[in-house]
Structure 1
């Protein structure tokens, strides 16, 4: 089904959210030195963010690290927190009985006697959702979990260290409080959502965040343009980032198809920043300057972020943080390659070799860096 664009301007009485659900009166804050405010928002250091915790599960991969710990689980989140990670990123959906749960895929799959059963996560109750996979109660056996690859192959969801499913509330209660949460508001690309439904789902999630977050740093992100705009209107406490493929994939909704459209959406909607697929940045490095001139922050995600040299190059370009799967390796590499000076503590890290101390890293002159930025788009095939 084609994705239909539903514009926030069409939402009736959006600024008059029902009193019992309005969260806009909470004071503006973003812990650990990040100020929220369209004109003043700044990320004080180069961020490393753990993808789905300690990294996503790629069951078809020969790399054991991609199958070490169950993604989007309390265990994965706390495993990542043992390293110098600033945030963990995870996906939140809301069950049919209004409980925010953490799970990436739109559908959850189980196999019984050779038959695969598929159910939409948002059409399950909380108790039904928790019945899949490892169970917390001793002796209780949950439904088997399998996963479908992009090419349609069904694989057992087998990891070295498994864990049970969890709710958003449990994550706040059980994960190391020093680690920030990058909460991706997860919606299905193939579903046209009613405006009232989006508002309801976001209010349910926001209620848990405000009840549980305390001093934990939190940011929101979403590929769904209207969800990103709505969550910004529904609260003024936490920064909101728009997720984009940066033109690496094409969608019916034009707002998702380029970094230029992402900039437009963020500036018009008052969002704080963009999270782009890293290939989108490397193919269009000039967009980084436009993003910074628009006073937006920029983070990236993607497989290239598991390569230390690619992360370092992004730092030189002005990218302010990366979402990674290999948390231990990249946090260690960043600690060696990118060290902020004592001056200007709390300010945005500046571009250029003179503002950072580095160790065991490539050395680029400005001329060489300019050459690399021109060459990279040619190396990364469209």
Structure 2
């Protein structure tokens, strides 16, 4: 398929969530879907779509209603995501003070009480204390109103379809068993964790998984390098991926500062793959080949994954799957390719660079995306 000339100025900012599905139209092809990564490693033979925090994360200050339809990290969000042809849902797991694995993203939970914002660390709460926030299971009860801080401002956590908080066990029991779980092991970047403490929390999570997963596909992932390495040592049944910003942010821990460091950690620790911020991949496309040659799986996350075009480019690059917020729009675009055939070959020099795919000049697309990101 031939590409047409496109000016960067004609394209909206790619790191903004698009207001309309398939809002970029660089080309018409879409990608296939469906993969089982339960065996880990580089066995991913098909492209995978994963729902971020279920049906998508909540961006409370966004004018786009799609970012505030369902409460993120809730059974309601998970089951609505399951209505679409996705492979996995991704969600964040922490452990309460009394050793219950819960699903919640933020390190701190904030509530508006008596005109003041009260902030508490999630892992300092008991399960009963955690459940007092937000919508309650019993209609007659009223929970503490949840708020979030956005760019220093306090914003009410209002969504169109709200739901109460849930535990990891409840997710296993109440979500379609055919839907895979990408369980992010959530830890605070600003804390130093002793190995015994990390081990204890991981064992709490593993107990729930072993008791309730049955045949459900599972992937573990974590930004915390030591947690990822420990999880792999504690069990061999499920793949473990290292989460990284791919060099788009700088941390004190050098292992988190580049795709190359992520690859070395994964290889050295016997991990099964890497999950990178998509900008890291576009900024260093050669890293894809190096990661794949190391027999590692490669997934990405980030706002750019809400565009069918950038998702398709990643498939051509050899990325194994994407974590997305716009589940309905991306899966619909993905499904469209199932009836499309007849893609041409990429140029031979692109094959030699490990940028293989079909029907598109990949170097053009990568250059275009790079320019738009910097624009």
TM range (shorter): 0.7 to 0.9
Q: CA deviation at 1:128?
A: 0.2
Match of residue 36 from structure 1: 39
**By how many angstroms is 1:69 displaced?**
0.4
Alpha-carbon spacing, 1:115–1:180, altered in 2? closer, same or farther (3 Å): same
Mapped partners of 1:255, 1:340: distance in 2: 41
Instruction: Identify the residue that residue 163 of structure 1 maps to in structure 2.
Output: 163
Cross-structure match for 1:103: 104
Q: Counterparts of 1:206 and 1:374 in 2: how far apart (Å)? A: 43
Alignment-derived partner of residue 189 in structure 1 = 189
Match of 2:78 in 1: 77
Question: Following TM superposition, where does structure 1 have runs of at least 4 consecutive aligned residues deviating by more than 2 angstroms?
Answer: 32-38, 337-341, 370-382
The residue that corresponds to 1:54 in the other structure is: 55
Looking at structure 1, the residues matched to 339 and 94 of structure 2 have their Cα atoms a distance apart, in angstroms, of 37
The reply to whether residue 352 of structure 1 matches residue 357 of structure 2 is: yes
CA contact (8 A) 1:283 1:376 kept: no
Unaligned runs of 5+ in 2: 1-34, 342-354
Q: Partner of 1:377: helix, strand, or coil? A: helix
TM-score (norm 2): 0.85
User: What is the count of residue pairs matched by the alignment?
Assistant: 329
Distance in 2 separating the partners of 1:324 and 1:376: 18
Alignment check: 8 A CA contact 2:38 2:217 kept: no
Query: Deviations 1:86-126 (Å, cap 9, x if unpaired)?
Result: 00000000000000000000000000121000000000000
Residues 287-344 of structure 1 show CA distances to partners (whole Å, capped at 9, x for unaligned) of 1111111111110000000001010111011111000000000001111136799xxx
The C-alpha deviation readout for 1:113-156, integer Å capped at 9, x for no partner, is 2100000000000000011000011301111100111x211000
Partner Cα distance (1:339, 1:47) in 2 = 18
Q: Is the alpha carbon distance of 1:121 and 1:292 closer, same or farther for their aligned partners in structure 2, counting shifts above 3 Å?
A: same
How far the C-alpha of 1:377 sits from its partner, in A, is: 3.2
Q: Unaligned 5+ residue runs, structure 1? A: 1-31, 342-349, 354-362
Aligned partner of 1:322 in structure 2 is: 322
Deviation at 1:351, TM superposition (A): 4.2
Alpha-carbon distance in 1 for matches of 2:48, 2:176: 17
Match of 2:140, SS? coil
Equivalent-residue separation in structure 1 for 2:197 and 2:156 (angstroms): 33
Distance 1:281 1:132 in 2: 38
Root-mean-square deviation (Å): 1.8
Judge conservation of contact 1:283–1:380 (CA < 8 Å) in 2: no
Matched residue, 2:362: 369
Measure, in 1, the Cα distance between the counterparts of 2:339 and 2:107.
Answer: 39
Q: Aligned ranges for residues 1-382 of structure 1 at < 5 Å?
A: 33-34=36-37, 36=39, 41-149=42-150, 151-337=151-337, 351-353=356-358, 363-364=359-360, 368-381=361-374
- 2:226 and 2:52 mapped to 1: Cα distance? 23
Q: 1:101 to 1:318 in 2, by over 3 A?
A: same
Work out which structure has the larger RCO, using CA pairs closer than 8 Å and 6 or more positions apart in sequence: 2
Relative to 1, partners in 2 of residues 1:35 and 1:218: Cα closer, same or farther, differing over 3 Å?
Answer: closer
Counterpart contact for 2:306–2:324, Cα < 8 Å:
yes
Give the direction of change, closer, same or farther, for the CA distance of 1:105–1:37 in structure 2 (3 Å limit). Answer: closer
